[in-house]
Structure formats: C-alpha cells, structure tokens
Structure 1
Amino acid sequence: MLRHIVMWTLKRPEDAAKVKALLDSCKGLVPGMHEFDVGIKTEGLEANCDVVLVSTFESKDALAAYIPHPHHQGVVAQIREMAATRHVVDYNV
C-alpha cells in the first residue's frame, strides 16, 4: 500500500471549498485507489495549509495510473492556478 498526501496553501484561502470539490471529483478514478479524503482548514485549529488530500493506493502502479489520468490532470491544472504552494509526500504503509 502507498499513501499519497498533498497539501496546498492557496492564493485565496476562500477558494478552499472549490478546491475540495475539484479533488473530490477524483475519488474512485482508478482501480486500486482505496482511500481518498480531502480536508480543508478549520478555523480555530492549527493548520499550515488550506487544503489536504490523504489517499491510499494499492501499489505504485495504481498511483502511476492516477497521476496522468486525463480527469486528474484537468483538476491539477485548475488547482495550479489557485495554489501558492504545494507539498507532497508518498510513502509505503
């Protein structure tokens, strides 16, 4: 299993709900995607980023199928326009 975590700081934090909706549209996009959770910063709780994606894939091959998927790439292009920073960590679980 492979965990894929991506965190974004947005140019306009008020766009967080829009980014979440875009990411949620990628849920179940490819076989081998087991978990897919998108969270946005909650007022009053500690956060260094505005949006986080925590996903789990069956294998490196499943993640490799997700990354170039045309729908995912369309979402990436839209989020790239709204993001100030992006951080990613992939690791075995």
Structure 2
Amino acid sequence: MIRHIVFFSAGSPENIGAVESGLRKLGRIPHSRLFEVSRNMKVDPIGDDVDVVVYAEFENEAALAAYKAHPLYSETTREVRPLRELRFSADVVAAPSTGETVKQ
C-alpha cells in the first residue's frame, strides 16, 4: 500500500476554504482506497504553516499513477495552485497492518 500525504499552505487566510474545497474534488477520482482532506488544527507550538492536508491510500504504484494521470487531477492543480503558497508531498510504502506497533 502507498500512503500519499500532501501539505498545503494557502497564500492568504482568505484562500484556505477555497484550497480545501478545491482539493476535495480529488476525492472523486476512483483510484484511491481512502481519501481525506482536512484542515490543520494548528495546535503544534513550534509551527503551524500548514493549512490543509490531503491523505490518501493507494493499493500500489499503478493506482497512484492512474490517480495523478486523471484529468480531474490536472484540473484541480490548475484551480488550487494560484491559491496556495507552499506544497509538500510524500508518497511512502506502508507495511501491511498487523495491529502491532512497530518501533524503530
């Protein structure tokens, strides 16, 4: 499974709602197992630059690639890019869940 996590900061506070609603459109793309868009609670005393987080899970790299190749992905990017300031993205392979906590 691949976890796709993207952090966004809006260019201005007035844009946070538009960034969030624009990103929610990505949930209509059929390739994810799980898709969430959430506002950052901003309770971390060290940094609160992130306004909106996208979290999605994909069965494999092919599903993630199909998601990113979908026309709605490009459309949403064109809509949200002018409204955001920062964007940080990570795609990580997650081990199958066994219900146990793994410590490193």
**TM-score (ref. length: structure 1):** 0.87
How far 1:28 moved relative to its partner? Answer: 4.0
1:8–1:84 CA contact under 8 A, matched in 2: yes
1:6 aligns with 2:6: yes
- Consecutive unaligned residues of structure 2, counting only runs of 5 or more, are 95-104
User: Which region of structure 1 is more displaced relative to structure 2, 8-17 or 70-79?
Assistant: 8-17
AA aligned to 2:90 is: V
Most deviating of 4-13 and 22-31 = 22-31
Q: Which residue in 2 is equivalent to 1:39? A: 38
Q: Which runs of 4+ in 1 moved over 4 A?
A: none
Match of 2:99 in 1: none
Bigger radius of gyration among the two: 2
Instruction: Say which SS state the counterpart of residue 69 (structure 2) adopts.
Output: coil
The alpha-carbon deviation at position 6 of structure 1 amounts to 0.5
Sequence identity, in percent? 29
SS, match of residue 27 in structure 2:
coil
Distance 2:19 2:84 in 1: 9
Distance in structure 1 (CA, Å) of the matches to 2:10 and 2:21: 14
* 2:56 aligned residue: 55
1: CA distance between counterparts of 2:28 and 2:2? 15
Aligned to 2:100: none
Q: Distance in 2 between matches of 1:28 and 1:61?
A: 18
Count the aligned residue pairs.
Answer: 91
**1:42 aligns to what SS in structure 2?**
coil
1:87 maps to: 88
Amino acid at match of 2:12: R
